[in-house]
Amino acid sequence: MKIREALSLFRYYQQSNHRKRTAESYRWMLQRFDDLFADRELDSIKPDEVYQFLENITGTLAKSTRRLRYAKLKAFFNFVAEKCSPDLKNPCSAPLLSKTFRMPRQTPRAILDKEIVDEMIYNTKNKRNRLILELQARCGLRIGELLNMRASDVSERRLTISQPKSGKEAEMAFMPEQVAKRLRDYIKDKSLTADDRVFPICYSTARTFIRKLGKKLNLTIAPHDLRRYSATYASRNGVPLEIVSKVILRHQDLKTTQVYLGKVSEQEAIRWMDILHGK
């Protein structure tokens, strides 16, 4: 089987079995591979050719991106071996490639303290910026979801997330009563129509003002740190993991949620033992 034929089968399989977002994430790299090797037989592709291909398209990128491109190409060859050609040896499994494009070591992110987050929120006088902080830290929303939100997506204490990361048509998020009231008042004061974006700014603007707030506290803070805080704060206060995962973060897999949660300190462990069993 030629590479072109195998790629067509893989694309069709993805369209039938995966979310559109997943298939789209493969498109650019598979097209580059097709351009270079379309008329080659599958079993003629050697590890050194794969290595050179990946180096050419990822050489200047972050290690995590390089690893992702490698994993996607490996997934393509695994698919072909499983569905079409059981005797095919995956060239991506060569030791050189596995070592070069291995997963970078993850550095645990520090979880923000409640006092820090509260100080950031209460000292922010700009109503728009305060709401962005609250909706991330209190409700666990992604910054992209906030910036795409329309006035029609707000209903009492519910938020409709259109085109969420999960690939679903929509998801629901929920707000504390006071945050919901401030958001409704903000929309009313701004005279926003149903189709108006509630926060018509770009990601770089949001990131910049959050970083500036963090700098005042001698901290380096990104928007996603507030979403991560919302999960850890809920978990530390006894909210079941299923609620943290499915309601606050809206993850598909509990394992993803566990990555978000901060490391439990000795003091935290002792506090929970006292709560559960008394001192």
CATH code of the domain covering residue 65: 1.10.150
Q: Are residues 235 and 126 both part of a single domain?
A: yes
- Residues 123, 85, single domain; the answer is no
The answer to whether residues 255 and 155 belong to one domain is: yes
Query: How far is residue 279's CA from residue 275's CA, in Å, rounded to a whole number?
Result: 8
Q: What is the pLDDT of residues 92-134, one digit of tens each?
A: 999 989 888 887 666 666 788 899 999 999 999 999 999 999 9
Number of domains in the chain: 2
Evaluate whether residue 109 is within a structural domain.
Answer: no
Distance CA(208)–CA(205), nearest Å, equals 5
Looking at the fold, whether 143 and 221 belong to one and the same domain comes out as yes
Tens digit of pLDDT for each residue in 12-70? Answer: 998 888 777 788 889 999 999 999 999 999 999 999 999 999 999 988 888 888 899 99
Predicted structure pTM score: 0.68
Residue 77 lies in a domain: yes
Same domain for 85 and 130? no
Residue 183 pLDDT > 90: yes
Q: Are residues 212 and 87 in the same domain?
A: no
Instruction: Pick the closest to residue 151 from 201, 126, 174, 185 (CA basis).
Output: 185
Phi and psi dihedrals of 155, rounded to 5? -145, 110
Pick 252 or 130 by higher pLDDT.
130
Q: Give pLDDT tens digits for 188-234.
A: 999 999 999 999 999 999 999 999 999 999 999 999 999 999 988 88
Q: Is residue 94 part of a domain?
A: yes
Same domain, 139 and 223: yes
Which amino acid type is present at position 211?
R
Mark whether 118 and 51 lie in a shared domain: no
233 and 203 fall within a common domain? yes
Indicate if 93 and 149 belong to the same structural domain: no
Does residue 151 form part of some domain? yes
User: Is 66 contained in some domain?
Assistant: yes
Q: Which of 100, 128, 155 represents a domain boundary (last residue)?
A: 100
- Domain boundary (78, 100, 122) is at 100
Structural domain boundaries, residue 91: 3-100
CA 222 – CA 27 distance, rounded (Å): 29
Q: Residue 108 falls within a domain, yes or no?
A: no
Residues 125, 217: one domain? yes
Which amino acid is it at 158? R
Question: Is residue 267 in some structural domain?
Answer: yes
The pLDDT value recorded for residue 189 is 96
* 249 and 156 share one domain: yes
Query: Considering 74, 100, 126, which residue would you say is the last residue of a domain?
Result: 100
Within a domain: residue 89? yes
In the chain, DSSP assigns E strands to 154-155, 158-162, 170-174
pLDDT tens digits, one per residue of 79-94: 999 988 888 899 999 9
Q: Measuring CA to CA, how many Å separate 152 from each of 88, 139, 198?
A: 52, 18, 9
Nearest C-alpha neighbor of 39 from the set 88, 10, 1, 90: 1
